[in-house]
Amino acid sequence: MLLELKVSNFAIIDNLHIRFRSGLNILSGETGSGKSVLLKSLALLMGGKASSDMIRPGQNQSIVEGCFDISKRKDIQDKLHEHGIDTDDDQLIIRRLISSEDKSRIYLNGTLSPLSTLRDLVAPLIEVTGPASPLIEMTGQHENKNLMSKFYHLDLLDHYCGTWEKRHQFETQYNRLKQIDSEIHDLQSDGQNKAQRLDFLLFQKDEIEKLDLGPGEDLAIESEIKKLKNASRLSSFVSMAEATLYEDDDSAKNRLKAVLKKSAELVTLDPTLADKIQGLEQAQTLIDDALYSLRGELNDIESDPNRLEELESRLSALRKLQKKYGTDVNSILQALVEIENEVAILQNSEQRVIELQKEQEKIKADLKKLGNDLHTRRSKGSELLTASVNEELSELNMKGVLFSVHLEKSEDFKATGLSDVEFMTRSSAKDTPRPLSKFASGGELSRILLSLKRVVGSSDQPRTYLFDEVDTGVSGETAEKVGKKLKSIAKGQQVICVTHLPQVAACGDHHFYIQKSPQKDSVSMDVAELKSKDRVREIARLISGEKISKTSLAHAEELLGL
């Protein structure tokens, strides 16, 4: 639901701030007062194309900002989260900046976003319900893209027939069938290429397996090579350590031995000394262990003089594999796993094709059964829909216009089933039905949609319906019925309707008046919400024109139930 609309420096709008509410919001005003400008600003919130021509003369940029309550639109919240856009307060604030340099910026809850994201969120082309429902649905002359879309026609019909769950089941199976078709095609592709691929993979597999690599082995080899190349330095260090700690007359071990001997003589004089010299005894043991380990390390290096050559040869072979399969041993081993998997698939491709073909036939049988059931339900539903919409249209002064649903069964599977659906219309029973997309009048399109909404019922996803010219060519009792139908649609959601009819305006829950205000060198547009007497006078003006009479005032009060 659209809560607020702020517009500045847009066409004839200087600064405008409107607070809309749920229910039926009426917009009225004199001809040329700027209603079309207001609709254009709303179109920008739906993803309409921006142009520097829209900027108010003498200004550098225009700003159009809309605040939406999305607390009941989890689908919109989920999409925003997917784009990393915060929705903590259950609101969506759309802000569009249009500069004089023909550059437009879009912000969704403060996050700079592309036009495609805005369009996908607010006004996707198709679907009356489900995950891609629009947040605003605009109907007006040459603007009602949804109503002229065959996809939308099918969505409306499925919503009316209650076949969404079956359609979802069909689509899931259909997508699996497409996956199987693709996999079979890949497996049955050119036999010679497949054989060549298998030979190449087996060569790669053998090349990697010959080295019999272990995880992290490249790091271990590099470490050992470094050690072997520095064997002479290690030998010198071990010799120095032995002399300093063990072999020299003045070695640490001999000095430590002398200290321990002397301390043993003094223990009899001070028994507590025995505990205090335990650390020196442990130090003697640690020196012995350290020298033993150093000698062992040196012996290992000296016992295998060819080890360095072997390691360098293995490392060279490993480097060749790294150039082909990965930067380290772990990457090479992962590549081996992938090669083995592809080899297994190629070697067992014939058996796999047989398995897939069996699954393919089963899915086709299931799809045919489910598709026939869907088509039958749609066929019965389309008859009821046609009768109900025509009954609604007869009350809306459509001058003999007849609505019908063209339903054709296809032998080929589509994601939505076997049905091809298109809404048709004709001017009389004698005329040939023609697609609704060929219907030129925006007012008639709006009334057809109005009838469809009444028959199909409110969407599972509440939204803002914007009706323009829905009252074109109607008056009197018909106009009153149009108003009541709009009020019915507005229950639980929001309708914004531009009207010239007092009967329609009187049905509104909220009424806004649009007027032009002359300024020194230009004009500006103002919008005010009408209350009590002001609303009575506006409806009286719609009844009688500029000269408001007592009779028109009384009629206005009667329409408002005052």
Q: According to the model, what pLDDT value does residue 202 have?
A: 93
**pLDDT value at 94 more than 90:** yes
Residue 287's contacts (CB-CB under 8 Å, 6 or more residues apart) are 245, 246, 252, 253, 256
SS3 state at 383 = helix
**Number of neighbours of residue 59 by Cβ within 10 angstroms:** 12
Q: Which tens digit of pLDDT belongs to each residue from 288-345?
A: 788 777 777 666 665 466 777 888 888 888 888 888 888 888 899 999 999 999 888 8
Average pLDDT over residues 254-281: 77
Among 78-92, 97-111, 445-459, 544-558, where is mean pLDDT lowest? Answer: 445-459
- Find the domain containing 306 and state its range: 217-327
The sign of the torsion formed by the CA atoms of 32, 34, 39, 41 equals positive
| Confidence label for 129 from pLDDT (cuts 50, 70 and 90) | very low
Please check whether residue 354 lies inside any domain of the structure.
no
Q: What burial letters (b/e) apply to 38-50, b meaning 16+ CB within 10 Å?
A: bbbbbbbbbbbeb
Structure-token pair, residue 398: 């459509």
Please check whether residue 427 lies inside any domain of the structure.
no
Same domain as 16, residue 111: yes
Q: Which tens digit of pLDDT belongs to each residue from 347-364?
A: 888 888 899 999 999 999
Please check whether residue 291 lies inside any domain of the structure.
yes
The sign of the torsion formed by the CA atoms of 264, 270, 271, 272 equals negative
Same domain as 134, residue 254: no
| Confidence label for 120 from pLDDT (cuts 50, 70 and 90) | confident
Same domain as 141, residue 7: yes
Distances (CA, A) of 215 to 269, 316, 317, 339: 62, 17, 16, 17
| Confidence label for 393 from pLDDT (cuts 50, 70 and 90) | confident
Please check whether residue 368 lies inside any domain of the structure.
no
Q: According to the model, what pLDDT value does residue 126 have?
A: 42
Average pLDDT over residues 521-534: 84
Average pLDDT over residues 464-477: 77
Please check whether residue 492 lies inside any domain of the structure.
yes
The percentage of residues in the chain with a pLDDT greater than 90, rounded to a whole number, is 33
Q: According to the model, what pLDDT value does residue 159 have?
A: 85
Domain boundary among 306, 327, 348: 327
Please check whether residue 162 lies inside any domain of the structure.
no
**pLDDT value at 248 more than 60:** yes
**Number of neighbours of residue 400 by Cβ within 10 angstroms:** 12
Domain boundary among 260, 293, 327: 327
Ranges of H-type helices in 210-328: 217-229, 231-242, 252-266, 273-276, 278-303, 307-325
Please check whether residue 285 lies inside any domain of the structure.
yes
Q: According to the model, what pLDDT value does residue 508 have?
A: 93
| Confidence label for 537 from pLDDT (cuts 50, 70 and 90) | very high
Average pLDDT over residues 149-154: 86
Residue 255's contacts (CB-CB under 8 Å, 6 or more residues apart) are none
CB-based contact 416:402 (threshold 8 Å):
no
Q: In CATH, what number is assigned to the domain containing residue 6?
A: 3.40.50.300
Distances (CA, A) of 554 to 286, 481, 551: 113, 21, 5
Among 234-243, 357-366, 545-554, where is mean pLDDT lowest? Answer: 234-243
Same domain as 256, residue 137: no
CB-based contact 104:50 (threshold 8 Å):
yes
62-142-389-398 Cα dihedral, nearest 10 degrees:
110
Same domain as 11, residue 134: yes
**pLDDT value at 127 more than 50:** no
Residue 209's contacts (CB-CB under 8 Å, 6 or more residues apart) are 336
**pLDDT value at 507 more than 90:** yes
Cβ burial, residue 146 (10 Å; 0-12/13-18/19+): buried
